[in-house]
Amino acid sequence: MRLESNVFWIPSIFFFLAGTAYGIFTGFSEWVGLTAILLTGGMFVMVGIYFKMLEKRHGTRPEDDELGEISQLAGSQGVYAPWSWWPLVIGIGAALAFVAMAVGWWIMVPAVLVGVVGLVGWVFEFSVGQHAH
């Protein structure tokens, strides 16, 4: 988790410095932009603190060890279904939803229906047929 926490600590420093520079250049007269930039830095800090807490709670992972071997990561990595068509159905539902925002809101009804059918199909994919558990 060390890498993940650093990924969020470094941008937080940038946003705090950028917010300070923004405040100085605007003479601290424009509060909306200053607040938005500083809050963005604060959100990065919150996620960085969370990852630091996870690192302390769970210890270092094999990928955090600089002398680690690939064999240390052996084991179950989850389930991947390369034959699944359900993500495509969900993508079609999302595409229809974006079309609905641009063209007409009536398209949102079939978009939501297609998206819900795709999501339910994807969730229950391994509960029916030859892959039932």
User: Domain residue spans in the chain?
Assistant: 2-73, 86-131
The pLDDT value recorded for residue 107 is 96
pLDDT tens for each residue of 53-109: 998 898 877 777 788 788 887 777 777 778 889 999 999 999 999 999 999 999 999
For the residues of the chain, what is the DSSP string, one character each?
Answer: -HHHHHHHHHHHHHHHHHHHHHHHHTTT--HHHHHHHHHHHHHHHHHHHHHHHHHHHH---GGG-TT--GGGG-S------TT--HHHHHHHHHHHHHHHHHT-GGGHHHHHHHHHHHHHHHHTGGGSGGG--
Supply the pLDDT for residue 8: 95
Higher pLDDT pick, 118 / 75: 118
The Cβ of residue 48 has, within 10 Å, a number of other Cβ atoms equal to 20
Q: What is the pTM of this model?
A: 0.56
Per-residue pLDDT at 133 = 61
Q: In sequence order, which residues have a C-beta less than 8 Å from that of residue 108 and are 6 or more positions away?
A: 96, 97, 100, 101
pLDDT tens, position by position, 120-131: 999 888 887 776
Q: What is the pLDDT confidence band of residue 132, given thresholds at 50, 70 and 90?
A: low
